[in-house]
């Protein structure tokens, strides 16, 4: 009588056991249609978002270059536009002091609109930073969180100059 040995683990699996691949995280990957571009993978499917491929061997790493592009994180791009417009309006307020028709109302209107845009840019950047883990553009969101208070400080400086000049 022969003794039965315990089954080996490999004997319990079918000959063609399925192999489960780890899910690919969201991010920028080489575009299958154009080698000079990258396409955003959202974790489930390819999106329509593309941009130029990051340059290897440059001053900054490709990952850092990608973190400066808004890509799927549209709020980071919106924050950049809002902060830029805020700064332009605030500077127009400063230049309005140099014109003969410059008035306190013009200054307050331009700087006030700049303040509102800077606050909207700051809020957009904060939300974009929270989404950066899944959508990218973390460095862009951080830079816009820094840019918005700077625009507000420049606006306060312009108001101070305007108050002294008018």
- Average pLDDT, stretch 28-38? 85
- HEC string for 35-52: CCEEEEECCCCEEEEEEE
Distance CA 75, CA 94 (A): 28
Q: What is the pLDDT of residues 137-160, one digit of tens each?
A: 889 999 999 999 999 999 999 888
Structure tokens at 16: 């063609």
Distance CA 132, CA 142 (A): 10
Sheet of strand 46-52, all strands in order from the earlier edge strand to the far edge: 27-30, 37-41, 46-52
Nearest CA to 118 out of 148, 143, 90 is that of 148
- Average pLDDT, stretch 115-131? 94
pTM over 0.85: no
- Whether the CB-CB separation of 46 and 72 falls below 8 Å is answered with no
Distance CA 79, CA 2 (A): 77
Q: Which residues contact 122 (CB under 8 A, 6 or more apart)?
A: 79, 83, 144, 145, 148, 149
Q: What is the pLDDT of residues 61-119, one digit of tens each?
A: 877 887 887 777 889 999 999 999 999 999 998 888 887 776 778 888 899 999 999 99
- Whether the CB-CB separation of 43 and 24 falls below 8 Å is answered with yes
Structure tokens at 150: 């700077």
């Amino acid at each position: 009588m022969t003794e039965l040995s315990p089954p080996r683990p490999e004997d319990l699996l079918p000959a063609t056991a399925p192999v489960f691949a780890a899910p690919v995280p969201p991010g920028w990957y080489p575009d299958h249609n154009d080698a000079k571009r990258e396409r955003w993978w959202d974790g489930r499917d390819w999106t329509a978002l593309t941009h130029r491929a990051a340059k290897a061997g440059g001053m900054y790493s490709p990952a850092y270059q990608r973190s400066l592009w808004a890509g799927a994180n549209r709020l980071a791009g919106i924050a950049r536009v809002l902060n830029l417009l805020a700064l332009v309006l605030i500077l127009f307020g400063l230049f309005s002091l140099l014109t003969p028709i410059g008035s306190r109302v013009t200054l307050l209107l331009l700087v006030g609109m700049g303040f509102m845009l800077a606050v909207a840019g700051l809020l957009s950047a904060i939300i974009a930073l929270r989404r950066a883990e899944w959508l990218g553009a973390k460095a862009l969101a951080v830079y816009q969180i820094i840019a918005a208070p700077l625009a507000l400080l420049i606006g306060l400086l312009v108001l101070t100059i305007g108050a002294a000049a008018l």
